[in-house]
Structure 1
Amino acid sequence: MSSTTGLVKTPQQVRSKRSLALVLEAARVVLDRDGIHDFTMTGVATEAGVSIGGIYRRFESKDALLRVVKDREFTRVEEALAARLGAAQPSLVAVVREFVTCLVEEFSAAERLFQSLMAASGTDEEMHARGVAWLDTVFEAFRTAAMRDAAAIRHEDPDVALRMAFQLISGVLLRRPVSGTYGGEVFTGTWEQASVELQTAALAYLTAGGTAKASRKAASKKTAATRRS
């Protein structure tokens, strides 16, 4: 859910609204093109075709502008996911496919943009909080859609299974914008290959039957015994 209200004062005049939209889109372009280290208010002003003073009248600092850009981008991804999952067939396979595919499309289309926003979040509490809220929102959308076909989830606790599947998917896909890889040299494939492998892995886990259940029980007993020793 967007929290832009409060981050920037919404203009009332049509011209002012248009100017704000230009600045935000310019900031997005500059981040995706130049990265966070070369991101400047002057660069945004030049890209938007507005004065630097006009930007500072709306945003007191570069961080203030970045907060609004992150909120705007994460809200857009939330809305895209909601639309894709809402239109998906009520089957676990379709939900996992649409969820992974949508995230891959969004992140790969603006990889440096998301890399920049996540890098900036490391030193800004508000941006970090927006990221945490994004994860909660996206997981809830995934869980709600997947539970329409709860019978296909063979785990004894579907909620736990969906949380683990979500952690797998989001952990791998978010690592790429953060570090530039999916996890060092362990997997060096393309976004498309990652999409296929993640769908396969998540569905294999969610739909695993008796053998997986027995393995979990054995692991649980072993962990308990280790703690007692």
Structure 2
Amino acid sequence: MTKLDPKPPSRLAPQQNRSRETRARILAAADTLLRAQGVDGFSIGGIASLAGIPIGNIYRRFEGKDDILQALKDAVASRIATAVSSAVKTQSNRDLQSYVEGFADAVIGVFSSDEELHRALFDPRVASPKMLETGQNVRSTIYSQFSLGLSTHLAGLDGEVAETAAKVVFSIITNAALTKVRGQDPIMRHFAWDEVKRQYSLAAIAYLRELQAVR
């Protein structure tokens, strides 16, 4: 082959495409299995059966169940961050009540739309250090976005009070969503998602109004 000869076609790209397709098929099967069977019925064998591939193909791409769960948790964390970011941008120029309600609608909307999947991924039994870190990272990200938008509605409060208020309101709404989706609280279990959104939004707004009245 001379320098003028065309470069031979790459053999790597098709292999990479097949690998990506197989990985996507594995994650789709894992997602389906986790929704249907929960943590107790989640297994590499079950994933392989749903995906229609040998178990060895899964272990060539993932270290095991924890690695697959981590990939699913990463995808969920990204969806949560995207939903909250969109809500914050949309509601930032509206009044305080609309802003808080918009945030609650985004957070609770994400959790309620995939209740079975979120219940499994936030199950304490699968809370590996890396999964916990993912949860904390997305929590910090959406808190920063939420608190920045809320600060424009709390201009009459000094900085420290406003920051504390943002943390309290954020915790009221996000902890309500997490408690509900985990399904372990006998009181929250009887609340519909729409009721959780409405009642905890009202509680957060009442708290903020009281702070503003006192100051």
TM-score (norm 2): 0.82
Within the candidate set 134, 138, 141, 2:142 is matched to 138
Which structure 2 residues correspond to residues 30-179 of structure 1 after superposition, within 5 A? 30-91=33-94, 92-119=96-123, 123-151=127-155, 157-178=161-182
Looking at CA atoms only, which structure, 1 or 2, has the larger radius of gyration? 2
Asked if the contact 2:84/2:103 (under 8 Å) is kept, the reply is yes
Q: Percent identity?
A: 28
- Tell me, in whole angstroms, the C-alpha distance in 2 between the residues paired with 1:211 and 1:155: 16
Which secondary structure does the structure 1 equivalent of 2:63 belong to? coil
CA offset digits 1:186-208 (Å, max 9, x no partner): 77220001101111111111122
Shift of 1:154: 9.3
Which secondary structure does the structure 2 equivalent of 1:60 belong to? coil
Asked if the contact 1:153/1:207 (under 8 Å) is kept, the reply is no
CA offset digits 1:103-157 (Å, max 9, x no partner): 1111111112111112256551111111111211121121122223333779971
TM-score (norm 1): 0.78
Give 1:105's aligned amino acid. Answer: G
Shift of 1:162: 0.7
Shift of 1:212: 4.8
Query: Comparing 30-39 with 138-147, which one deviates more in the overlay?
Result: 138-147
- Tell me, in whole angstroms, the C-alpha distance in 2 between the residues paired with 1:134 and 1:186: 24
Unaligned stretches of 5+ residues in structure 2: 1-13
- Calculate the aligned-residue CA RMSD, in Å: 2.5
Within the candidate set 201, 204, 207, 2:206 is matched to 204
Kindly tell me the number of residue pairs found equivalent between the two proteins.
201
- Tell me, in whole angstroms, the C-alpha distance in 2 between the residues paired with 1:153 and 1:90: 18
Q: Does 1:20 align with 2:23?
A: yes
Unaligned stretches of 5+ residues in structure 1: 1-10, 214-229
